[in-house]
Amino acid sequence: MALAHSLGFPRIGRDRELKKAQEAFWKGELNEAGLRAVGSELRKTHWDLQKKAGIELLPVGDFAWYDQVLTHSLMFGVIPERFRPHDGKATLQTLFGMARGVSDSCCGGAHAQEMTKWFDTNYHYLVPEFSADQQFQLGWEQLFEEVEEALALGHKVKPVVIGPLTYLWLGKAKGAEFDKLELLDRLLPLYGQIFQRLATLGVEWVQIDEPILVLDLPQEWKNAFERAYNQIQRDPLKKLLATYFGGLEENLGLAANLPVDGLHIDLVRAPEQYPTILDRLPAYKVLSLGLVNGRNVWRCDLEQALSVLQHAHERLGERLWVAPSCSLLHSPVDLGREDKLDAELKSWLAFAVQKCEEVSILARAINEPQAAPVLEALAQSRAVQAARAASSRIHKPAVQARVAAVTAADSQRKGPFAKRIEAQRNRLQLPAFPTTTIGSFPQTAAIRLARQSFKQGKLTEAEYTEAMHSEIRHAVTVQERLGLDVLVHGEAERNDMVEYFAEQLDGYVFTRFGWVQSYGSRCVKPAVIFGDLSRPKAMTVEWIRYAQNLTDKVMKGMLTGPVTMLMWSFPREDVSREVQARQLALAIRDEVVDLEAAGIKIVQIDEAAFREGLPLRQAQWQHYLDWATEVFRLCASGVRDETQIHTHMCYSEFNDVIESIAAMDADVITIETSRSDMELLEAFEAFAYPNEIGPGVYDIHSPRVPDASEMANLLRKAAKRIPAERLWVNPDCGLKTRGWPETEAALVHMVSAARQLRKELA
């Protein structure tokens, strides 16, 4: 027998019910009981969907009001001083305060916890903050309540918790410098308490996620795994240790031998772990094989997966489980909803619900190999694989020929930076500390409504264009009034910085309901790359030209770079990431050249996901960095020296990649730095980064409006590290999630801070 289980299901709901309820709650339009009711309805629906799809052990603990790491911080009582409730009892208000910051007119409020990328995904978690004297105590009942809720519904459940080592790894030591591992012994007893309580509820299996086992771990952390799990084993629950997003490699022996009852491995990302694992796994353990890709939307090649499974079954018998490779948090919910998708393409795809069905049919293929549904599913899968392989929609000889004809010279600007910047300065005539923004202005409800009406045919194209033009006019007027130096058009016409371009490129298909959580209530709808990519016609030129014609100031053209397009889409699996990025680069290069021809003097090519594309294992870094920098240069190098190329990156830990960022050779890079108090500039200083830099002077994730003096102080700090003549002044990132009032207020302060610095350094 093989058992079908799942590591986690998306919590947002098919219609983003959770997002809508969260936002209504924050606005005061929904009360707590209403919000809780939506949560429990969603959990019920998701368990039902998974059970119906054939999942035998249902995950509990995958639901979160904002983020699963944050839920753990509450569960462990890891609540920073500034959020601690007076009576010590954390509430939903505490949780949302930690996630979103608290504004308080009298004392400046409390800034939100830092948010960062969850491994190499586009999901963001809230970074736990540890103090040297950190105490842990159980203080949040959610997991137990949800287990009881599921049991009451008659489900067989497997609670999911983040393991102690991964939880500590993800957090940050605050205040005095100390080693986070010192906290382990204090944290471990809580796991014992949690497991005791789960056992009392009648739970048999618990899933402990330790995805850091697929990283290059320092020796002390490896040792800590043995110590921790030896201590944890002393309780009655059966434990499945889950690893995902990569291979265990040198940690395979360690993971296989920890005193737990089962191990889950990701065979999609790291198929080479099989069959080695069979020889290393103790004979009493369950092995869970992650064979259905939780990170992409392609239908599983069932025959291929089954061949591994059959082999494993001969060795493991009853000890074999089947699952998606990782939690389905990263997958859209239900393909069934896609009523407008091209039928052929649709037949190639699977979302979370369908992935559960795939897992279940794989298990059934072991248990009842001759059952009619099994044979039918296998035949269908075979047909889909064959149809895709032979489809003429995928392979475009012209695109491939163009990629093949690229020469080294194509990814070099004509002149060196020193020469270019002189030409650019002469042409642009900007003051010292030039001010600009990152591209987007508030995506108001009115903008979204207009776009929705246009899509539903309630607005004509001309009416929609006029609505967007009116937004652009507004953005330009505001920027002129505020006295910004380099203007942007505001991106009102873009649903998302990646999807907008994907919709206009050949080789992409996009969905109507394929939403995936990015952070909190914010979702993205990644488009799907199915074939060779090309640009049938200019994508942004008319909008930017319209904006430029409204003003005498310089209007920055705004594009998304090839690596970010790729990282925030669902990629093909039949060709490498590098090949897809090169095709994207050529399409974007044509757009850059078209913008230049339309008289645009500055073009920004966002590479927000550059750092996120870095492989989890260091051994693979250089290869990635080589092609990622090269494709950026390929798209940026079609223009004359006097055309200024900007790039933008957020959430980036630059130390590791600074050399490559310099190799991208953008004339100006704007980065997120305000929350790290300009510390991120250390890398730029240490490396003597040669080009211009705009370190973000305020955090755009919070509605809080910092004073001009706060921003001026940050700029002074920046000027200590970077020569003043190479500094720009801008926010951390785009302003689309903000409202107009706080945006204008903050930009007034930003412009005044820049003026202050000009005076001081004149």
User: Catalytic residue numbers?
Assistant: 701
Q: How far is it, in rounded angstroms, from Cα 440 to Cα 497?
A: 9
The residue type found at 713 is N
Three-state DSSP class for residue 57:
strand
Identify which of residues 661 and 751 has a Cβ nearer to ligand 39S in the complex.
661
The angle subtended at Cα 261 by Cα 259 and Cα 266, nearest 5°, is 100
Identify which of residues 263 and 565 has a Cβ nearer to Zn ion in the complex.
565
Identify the residue whose tokens are 């830990």.
653
For residue 239, state whether it binds ligand MET (rule: CB under 6 A).
no
Q: How far is it, in rounded angstroms, from Cα 2 to Cα 364?
A: 7
For residue 733, state whether it binds Zn ion (rule: CB under 5 A).
yes
For residue 746, state whether it binds ligand MET (rule: CB under 6 A).
no
Contact, 606 vs 568, CB < 8 A?
no
Chain residue at closest Cβ approach to ligand MET:
734
Q: How far is it, in rounded angstroms, from Cα 44 to Cα 41?
A: 5
Question: Is the Cα dihedral 362, 364, 365, 366 positive or negative?
Answer: positive
For residue 440, state whether it binds ligand MET (rule: CB under 6 A).
yes
CB of 650 to ligand MET, least distance (A): 5
Q: Please write down the HEC assignment for all residues of 272-317.
A: HHCCHHHHHCCCCCEEEEEEECCCCCECCCHHHHHHHHHHHHHHHH
CB of 495 to ligand 39S, least distance (A): 3
Q: Is 720 one of the annotated binding-site residues?
A: no
Contacts of 411 (CB under 8 A, 6+ apart): 630, 631, 633, 634, 637
Residue 524 interacting entry, from ligand MET, ligand 39S, Zn ion, none, C-beta within 5 to 8 Å by type: ligand 39S
User: Could you tell me which of 214, 157, 169 has the C-alpha nearest to residue 9?
Assistant: 157
CA distances, 8 to each of 127, 182, 512, 669, 685 (Å): 21, 30, 23, 38, 42
Q: Which of 650, 662, 664, 727 binds ligand MET (CB under 6 A)?
A: 650
For residue 733, state whether it binds ligand MET (rule: CB under 6 A).
yes
Identify which of residues 589 and 736 has a Cβ nearer to Zn ion in the complex.
736
Three-state DSSP class for residue 530:
strand
Q: Is 106 one of the annotated binding-site residues?
A: no
Residue 640 interacting entry, from ligand MET, ligand 39S, Zn ion, none, C-beta within 5 to 8 Å by type: none
Q: What does 338-393 look like in DSSP terms, one character per residue?
A: -TTS-HHHHTTB--HHHHHHHHHHHHHHHHSTT-HHHHHHHHHHHHHHHHHHH-TT
Q: How far is it, in rounded angstroms, from Cα 607 to Cα 651?
A: 11
Q: Is 73 one of the annotated binding-site residues?
A: no
Contact, 303 vs 382, CB < 8 A?
yes
For residue 439, state whether it binds ligand MET (rule: CB under 6 A).
yes
Q: Which of 129, 209, 485, 606 binds ligand MET (CB under 6 A)?
A: 606
Contact, 447 vs 492, CB < 8 A?
yes
Identify which of residues 134 and 560 has a Cβ nearer to ligand MET in the complex.
560
Q: Which of 313, 648, 675, 701 binds ligand MET (CB under 6 A)?
A: 648
Identify which of residues 571 and 734 has a Cβ nearer to ligand MET in the complex.
734
Identify which of residues 252 and 492 has a Cβ nearer to ligand MET in the complex.
492
CB of 736 to ligand 39S, least distance (A): 6
For residue 361, state whether it binds ligand MET (rule: CB under 6 A).
no
Q: Which of 270, 335, 608, 669 binds Zn ion (CB under 5 A)?
A: 608
Residue 315 phi, psi dihedral angles, 5° rounding:
-85, -35
User: Could you tell me which of 170, 204, 167, 202 has the C-alpha nearest to residue 184?
Assistant: 167
Q: Residue 254: exposed, middle, or buried by beta-carbon count in 10 A (0-12, 13-18, 19+)?
A: middle
Residue 732 interacting entry, from ligand MET, ligand 39S, Zn ion, none, C-beta within 5 to 8 Å by type: none
Residue 14 interacting entry, from Zn ion, ligand MET, ligand 39S, none, C-beta within 5 to 8 Å by type: none
CB of 115 to ligand MET, least distance (A): 12
Q: How far is it, in rounded angstroms, from Cα 677 to Cα 581?
A: 33
For residue 671, state whether it binds ligand MET (rule: CB under 6 A).
no
Q: Is 650 one of the annotated binding-site residues?
A: yes
Q: Is 117 one of the annotated binding-site residues?
A: yes
Residues composing the chain: 762
Residue 558 interacting entry, from Zn ion, ligand 39S, ligand MET, none, C-beta within 5 to 8 Å by type: ligand MET
Q: How far is it, in rounded angstroms, from Cα 452 to Cα 459?
A: 9
User: Could you tell me which of 10, 141, 126 has the C-alpha nearest to residue 73?
Assistant: 126
Three-state DSSP class for residue 637:
coil
For residue 558, state whether it binds ligand MET (rule: CB under 6 A).
yes
Q: How far is it, in rounded angstroms, from Cα 632 to Cα 605?
A: 8
Q: Which of 74, 102, 187, 497 binds ligand MET (CB under 6 A)?
A: 497
Q: Which of 438, 554, 585, 666 binds ligand MET (CB under 6 A)?
A: 438
Query: Segment 631-660, which members bind Zn ion (CB under 5 A)?
Result: 650
- Catalog residues that contact ligand 39S under the rule CB under 6 A: 122, 443, 445, 448-449, 451-452, 495-498, 518-519, 522-525, 568, 736-737
Identify which of residues 39 and 694 has a Cβ nearer to Zn ion in the complex.
694
Identify which of residues 245 and 610 has a Cβ nearer to ligand 39S in the complex.
610
For residue 356, state whether it binds Zn ion (rule: CB under 5 A).
no
Q: Is 752 one of the annotated binding-site residues?
A: no
Return binding residues for Zn(2+). 648, 650, 672, 733
Return binding residues for L-homocysteine. 438-440, 491, 606
Return binding residues. 16-19, 117, 438-440, 491, 522-523, 568, 606, 612, 648, 650, 672, 733
Return binding residues for L-methionine. 438-440, 491, 606
Instruction: Please report, as ranges, the residues that interact with Zn ion according to CB under 5 A.
Output: 608, 650, 733
Return binding residues for 5-methyltetrahydropteroyltri-L-glutamate. 16-19, 117, 522-523, 568, 612
Instruction: Please report, as ranges, the residues that interact with ligand MET according to CB under 6 A.
Output: 438-440, 497, 558, 606, 608, 648, 650, 733-734, 736
